Amino acid sequence: MTYRLLSFLTIMLSISCARDSNPVTQCTPAPDVFVRETSSSPATVGISVRINAGLTSAPPSYALWARYPDGETESIYATCKASQGYAASTDSYSESLPVWFGIRSEEGLAPGNPDLDAITTATPTRDNFEIHWNPKISGQQDTVQLFLEANMPNDFNDYFNAGLGTNGQPSLIWFTSFVLYPDTLIVVRPATVIGRSDPKGQTSKLYSDRNGITTAQNIISGIDLWRLR
């Protein structure tokens, strides 16, 4: 009886561990330069994301997407935590970046989709890393908008404290835009914070107010853009 009981408990523990395993560990390590090309043509735009590391013990999760003049969006890059979730439940707003969650849902990028896997890596350990990208613009001189959503787990402050039932300060969204000319790239608007997500992640809506936001504004120190060729 004792042997059967121990065997049963061992099996149940194994099932529990498998269910709660963290898919972040399954992501390939991020190289110094992550290349995401949407066509057979070489990448034309370089994007450098500068991160303030060490704000908390856990690294931030973030995602980058573009919006074209016709309103179409394109997800460009996501960390594994943002893409796959922190545990087995991958479709929860509270375990991902809420605003990007809405974008990726519109694009049909559910976990397991090869297109989502193609833009996902483990969180880069570098404070500054590059993404090489070939935007899908139909003509020159189109203004392309870029959005980056970032969030730090357990980033509590006096306003967004543990008693509110949140994961700390909500994710923030940085925005910049550029025009790609034949020989150069012109930044139309430098990267700035334009809003936040819902603190409890119950909607993908972007809110413009930043009431109670403190250290979360320092997660990203800058986004640089340039033409590669």
Digit-coded pLDDT (tens) for 17-61: 232 333 344 565 555 545 555 556 678 899 999 988 666 667 788
Which neighbouring-strand residues pair with 121? 79
In what order do the strands lie in the sheet containing 128-133? 33-36, 128-133, 45-51, 220-227
Contact 180, 140 (CB under 8 A): yes
Is residue 100 predicted with pLDDT exceeding 50?
yes
Q: In what helix (H) or strand (E) does residue 215 lie, and over which residues does it extend?
A: none
Closest CA to 83 of 30, 126, 39, 160: 30
Q: Give the model's pLDDT for residue 10.
A: 33
Q: CA distances (Å), 191 to each of 28, 43, 48, 68, 169, in order?
A: 28, 21, 11, 17, 20
Q: Domain range holding 87?
A: 2-227
Closest CA to 78 of 140, 154, 150: 150
Q: Give the model's pLDDT for residue 7.
A: 37
Please tell me the distance from the alpha carbon of residue 168 to that of residue 156, in angstroms, as a whole number. 4
Q: Give the model's pLDDT for residue 34.
A: 54
Please tell me the distance from the alpha carbon of residue 120 to that of residue 52, in angstroms, as a whole number. 20
Residue 169 confidence class, pLDDT cut points 50, 70, 90: very high
Q: Give the model's pLDDT for residue 4.
A: 44
Give the total number of structural domains in the chain: 1
Contact 52, 145 (CB under 8 A): no
Q: Give the model's pLDDT for residue 138.
A: 66
Q: Give the model's pLDDT for residue 19.
A: 29
Concatenated DSSP letters of 41-91: SPP-EEEEEEE-TTSSSSPPEEEEEEE-TTS-EEEEEEEHHHHH-SSS--S
Q: Give the model's pLDDT for residue 114.
A: 87
Instruction: Flag the least confident range among 6-10, 34-38, 49-53, 133-137.
Output: 6-10
Is residue 139 predicted with pLDDT exceeding 80?
no
Looking at per-residue pLDDT, the higher value among 130 and 28 belongs to 130
Dump pLDDT digits (tens) for 61-70. Answer: 889 999 999 9
Q: 10 Å Cβ neighbour count for 118?
A: 14
Q: Mean pLDDT across the chain, nearest whole number?
A: 79
Share of the chain above pLDDT 90, in %: 42
Residue 113 confidence class, pLDDT cut points 50, 70, 90: confident
CA count, 13 A, side-chain hemisphere, 216 = 32
Q: Give the model's pLDDT for residue 86.
A: 56
